[in-house]
Structure 1
C-alpha cells in the first residue's frame, strides 16, 4: 500500500506538471462544468416555482440529494477516470501492453495513472450544495460518522461499475460506448428515486444501483429512517460490485490479446 501511495503521488505530480502547460484547457473545462451544474440547479429551482414539492420532497431536500450525488461521483472522477481509456482505446489499440509489462498490478496501474483535476468542479459544487442545505438535518454523532463512512462506499459503486464495464473491452476490444450508456444512468441518482415509476426505481436501485450513491444515504440523513437499509445496503452492494468487477477484470486480463499489425 505504501508503494502504491508513493506511485500515486508521482503520477499526480507529473499530471500537475502537464496541467501547467495547458492551463487554459483546464480553466475552460472547469468553467464548462460549473455552467452545466448551475443550469441544472436553476432548472430544479424553476420546477419548484411551479410545484410545492416533488412527491413529498421540498427544494432544500432535493438540493441536498443533488449535492450528495456529486461527492462520490467527483471522487471517482478525480482518481479513477483512466478506466474510460481501457474501454475506449487502450485495448483496441494494443496500448494496454504497457500495463502488462510493468512490475505492478495492471488494474492498480490503470487506476492511479491519471488524476482528473477538472473533477474538483464536481466536488466544489457538491460541497457548496451540501453546505447550503446542511441546517435542514438534525445531525448527531451517528449521522456524522455514517456520513463519513458511506462516501467511500458510494464512490466504490461508481468505480466497480466502471471496472466491470471497461473489462468487457478485453473481449469486445472496445466497450466505451456501452460504458457511456450505463454511466449516463447516474443522472437519475441526483433526484429522489420516488419521483420515478416503479420500473426505473428498481433499475437504479438493484440493477445499476446508482440510487445507493445518493438517494438512499441522503434519505437516512434527511429523515433518520432505516439506516440498516439506506446505509447498510449501500455498503453491501458496493462490496458485492467490487468482488464481481474484480472477477470480470481477472477473466478479461487472461483473455487479453495485444492488437495485431
Structure 2
C-alpha cells in the first residue's frame, strides 16, 4: 500500500506540471463547473417559486440534498475521472502499456490523471451544506461528522463502481460510452428526494443502481428524516457489493482482452 501511495504521488506531480502549463484552461474548467452547479440550484429555486414544499421537503432541505449530492460525485470526478477513457484505451490498444508494468492496471489508469474541475462540485457542495445547515439551525456532533465521512466515501465508491462496470463493457462493445453515459446519468435522480418519483424510479435508484445511497438517504439522515442505521448499513453494503462486483467484472474483462500486438 505504501508503494502505491509513492507511485500515486509521482503520477500526481507529473499531471500537475501539465496543468500548470495550461492555467487558463484549468481556470475556465472550474468556472464552467461552478456555472453548471449554479444553474442547477437556480432550477430548484424556480420550483419553489410556486410551492412551499415538495412531498414534505422544504427549499432549504432540497438545497441541502443538492449540496450533499455534489461531494461524493466530486470525489469520484476528482480521483477516478480517467475511467471514462477506458473504452477508448481498449480500442486503441493503450491497455497494453498497463499490462507490461508490475503495477495494478486499474490503479495505473486511475492514477495517471486527476480532474481539477471537480473542485467546482466540492466547493459548491460544501457551501450549500454549510449555508442551509445554518439556515435550518442544524448542528452536528462527532458521531454525525464521522458517519458523514463514511457515507461520503461510500457514495463515491458507488459512483466509481458503476462507472467502472460501464467502462468494462468496452472489452466487448465497440463503443460503450453511450451506455456509460446513460447509466451514470441515472444518478441525476439523486439530486432530488427519491420519494417524489414513481415506484419504479425509486427501486431503480435504490436497488438496481443505488444512487439513492449517495445523497438522498445520507441527507435524510442528517436532516433527521431517516433511520441512521438503515442509511449507514445500506450505504456500506451497497458500496461494498458494487465495488467487489465491478472489480471482478474488470478483471474478467481484462482476462478476455486481446493485445494490439497479438
Q: Normalising by structure 1, report the TM-score.
A: 0.96
Residue 18 of structure 1 corresponds to which residue in structure 2?
Answer: 18
In the other structure, the counterpart of 1:66 is: 66
Instruction: Note the alpha carbon deviations across 1:147-170, whole angstroms, 9 max, x for none.
Output: 122111111001111121111111
Give CA deviations for 1:52-105 in whole Å, capped at 9, x if unaligned: 011000011111111111101000110111110002x10011111111111101
Q: Distance in 2 between matches of 1:220 and 1:74?
A: 21
Contact persistence 2:15–2:113 (CA under 8 A): yes
Q: State the Cα distance separating 1:138 from its structure 2 match.
A: 4.3
Structure 1 Cα separation of the partners of residues 102 and 37 of structure 2: 41
The corresponding residue for 1:243 is 244
Task: Give every structure 1 segment of 4 or more consecutive aligned residues whose post-TM-superposition deviation is greater than 4 Å.
Answer: none
Flag structure 2 segments of 5+ consecutive residues without an equivalent: none
TM-score relative to the length of structure 2: 0.95
- Are 2:220 and 1:219 equivalent residues in the alignment? yes
- Alpha-carbon deviation of 1:224? 5.2
1:1-261 matches, within 5 Å, as 1-87=1-87, 89-135=88-134, 136=136, 137-223=138-224, 225-259=226-260
Contact conserved, 1:220 with 1:231, CA < 8 A, in 2? Answer: no
- 8 A Cα contact 1:91 1:173, kept in partner: no
SS at match of 2:65: helix
- C-alpha distance in structure 2 between counterparts of 1:205 and 1:225, whole Å: 14
Report Cα offsets for 1:151-194 as digits up to 9, x if no partner. Answer: 11111001111121111111224322211111111111111101
CA offsets 1:105-136 (integer angstroms, 9 cap, x no match) = 10111121111111111101111111111233
Q: Secondary structure at the match of 1:194?
A: helix
The CA deviation at 1:10 is: 1.1
Cα deviation code 1:215-252 (max 9, x no counterpart): 01111110153112122101100000011111101110
Whether the aligned pair in 1 keeps the contact of 2:155 and 2:239 (CA below 8 Å) is yes
